[in-house]
Amino acid sequence: MIPAVKPLSVYIHIPFCVRKCAYCDFNSVSEHTPQLMRRYCGALMEEIETYARRLESRYAVETVYFGGGTPTLLAPSDLDGILSLLRQRFAWRPRPEITIETNPGTSTSQQLRALAAIGVNRLSIGAQSFDDAELRLLGRIHRTADTCRTFESARKAGFANIGLDLIYGLPGQSAAGVARSIDEIARLAPEHVSTYSLTVEKGTPLSRSIAEGILVRPDEKTQAAMFRAVIASLVKRRYRHYEISNFARRGFESRHNSAYWTGADYIGIGAGAHSFLSGRRYMNAVSVRSYIAHNRRRYDRALSGDERLWEKIALGLRLTKGVCLRDSAVRREELSKKAESLVKEGLLTMSHDLLKLTKKGVIFYDRVAVELI
């Protein structure tokens, strides 16, 4: 019998940035000389070749996501080289979703047109805020006017699927400040909006300023109120709240990220990238130089049945439609016991095989996940 061809999502990590933002703990580096970027692209191509040989024709590419970092620091011709190799070495599904992240001020109109021409059909813009003082505080290289220019250039270049990212819960930020950013997002009318509460990571300049008392974060109650206001405001403007942090016009949900949340197979190419294939998890070396020097694998291990189950619940619960456990080997008693107090508190519902966060539970997902898993 011929085995079925499975859909595959491909993440490609481009770790280069113009400079590090004050809150950034992501795997990104400000060093981005042409020579280093060329060597890195060479290493990406080698890793794609390795996966192509290994996976043979068992998969067909459904989505590609260039994330970072700032992937648009690579020339469109380099990105085209990567896409061409993927097209050559893998089968593809019809109408693939091909996303690239960009940061305002790093892509010109010409570059955006070139991206559309090589087949990129979804743009995710790291707007983060529409208040210049907040952008300065975050150490971003761009200002509000750059975001608006990038957005309008992207529309002119033909992008019909654009996402904007927003961070709330910044030091000194008021509910009115968040509302102003949402108003600006609504004016631009992207197809997708991702919203994140600011995470203060140890060792970042922002965490030092907070530790020294120079900056003060809104307390948890205020942050929860901001999140509630963000949800209400976007839902009122006809964005579907389909995942804890994500909102979309109908039909514009991120297909790539949905693959993660539903436990589908994906490969991650590049420094620090993760892969998940047939129940095994892989992670690449984090440092750019180690990655280039072929010290690629950091770990490779099969998840146990229990780990897969709890991961399915943790990821699936992020979706507002909930997670169906019909075909899962769930120990009902154990799950019901863990869920009992969360259900009583009105954070979770369990009916038949469907486990789902309530509206209140969405705000407190982290707590629910810890208690449940």
Under the binding rule (CB under 6 A), the answer on residue 167 touching ligand SF4 is no
* Chosen residue from 10, 45, 68, 120 binding ligand SF4 by CB under 6 A: 68
CB-based contacts of 97, cutoff 8 Å, min separation 6: 62, 63, 64, 121, 122, 254, 255, 256
State the Cα–Cα distance between residues 89 and 19, nearest whole angstrom: 34
Under the binding rule (CB under 6 A), the answer on residue 21 touching ligand SF4 is yes
Site string for ligand SF4, 114-153 (x = CB under 6 A): ------------x---------------------------
Cα 342 off chain centre by:
27
Minimum CB distance to ligand SF4 smaller for 129 or for 233 = 129
Under the binding rule (CB under 6 A), the answer on residue 28 touching ligand SF4 is yes
Virtual CA dihedral for 19, 20, 21, 27, nearest 10 degrees?
Answer: 130
State the Cα–Cα distance between residues 25 and 17, nearest whole angstrom: 13
* Chosen residue from 72, 102, 103, 173 binding ligand SF4 by CB under 6 A: 103
Minimum CB distance to ligand SF4 smaller for 127 or for 363 = 127
* Chosen residue from 70, 102, 194, 275 binding ligand SF4 by CB under 6 A: 70
Q: Candidates 3-11, 14-22, 37-45, 246-254: pick the segment binding ligand SF4 (CB under 6 A).
A: 14-22
* Chosen residue from 8, 14, 17, 45 binding ligand SF4 by CB under 6 A: 17
Minimum CB distance to ligand SF4 smaller for 103 or for 233 = 103
* Chosen residue from 10, 69, 182, 244 binding ligand SF4 by CB under 6 A: 69
* Chosen residue from 8, 10, 14, 24 binding ligand SF4 by CB under 6 A: 24
Nearest Cα to Cα of residue 315 among 267, 268, 272, 264 = 264
Q: CB of residue 101 vs ligand SF4: minimum separation in angstroms?
A: 8
Q: Candidates 15-23, 155-163, 194-202, 223-231: pick the segment binding ligand SF4 (CB under 6 A).
A: 15-23
Q: Candidates 33-41, 64-72, 276-284, 299-307: pick the segment binding ligand SF4 (CB under 6 A).
A: 64-72
Minimum CB distance to ligand SF4 smaller for 26 or for 260 = 26
Q: CB of residue 22 vs ligand SF4: minimum separation in angstroms?
A: 9
The DSSP result for 326-373, as a single string, is: TTS---HHHHHHHHHHHHHTTSEEEETTEEEE-HHHHHTHHHHHHHH-
Map tokens 């950013």 to a residue.
181
Residue 287: strand pairing partners? none
Minimum CB distance to ligand SF4 smaller for 17 or for 198 = 17
Q: Candidates 13-21, 215-223, 252-260, 283-291: pick the segment binding ligand SF4 (CB under 6 A).
A: 13-21
DSSP element (H, E) containing 300: strand 297-302
User: What are phi and psi for residue 13, nearest 5 degrees?
Assistant: -90, 125
Under the binding rule (CB under 6 A), the answer on residue 164 touching ligand SF4 is no
Nearest Cα to Cα of residue 100 among 136, 130, 125 = 125
Helix (H, G, I), strand (E, B) or coil at 271: coil
The DSSP result for 154-221, as a single string, is: HHHTT---EEEEEEE--TT--HHHHHHHHHHHHHH--SEEEEEEPP--TTSHHHHHHHTTSS-PPPHH
Q: CB of residue 18 vs ligand SF4: minimum separation in angstroms?
A: 8
Q: CB of residue 197 vs ligand SF4: minimum separation in angstroms?
A: 15
**Is there a contact between 269 and 47 (Cβ–Cβ < 8 Å)?**
yes
Cα 315 off chain centre by:
13
Minimum CB distance to ligand SF4 smaller for 17 or for 355 = 17
Q: CB of residue 29 vs ligand SF4: minimum separation in angstroms?
A: 9
* Chosen residue from 6, 20, 89, 237 binding ligand SF4 by CB under 6 A: 20
Residue 276: strand pairing partners? 266, 281
Q: CB of residue 17 vs ligand SF4: minimum separation in angstroms?
A: 3
Strand 280-284 to 297-302 pairing: antiparallel
**Site for ligand SF4, rule CB under 6 A:** 17, 20-21, 24, 26, 28, 68-70, 103, 126
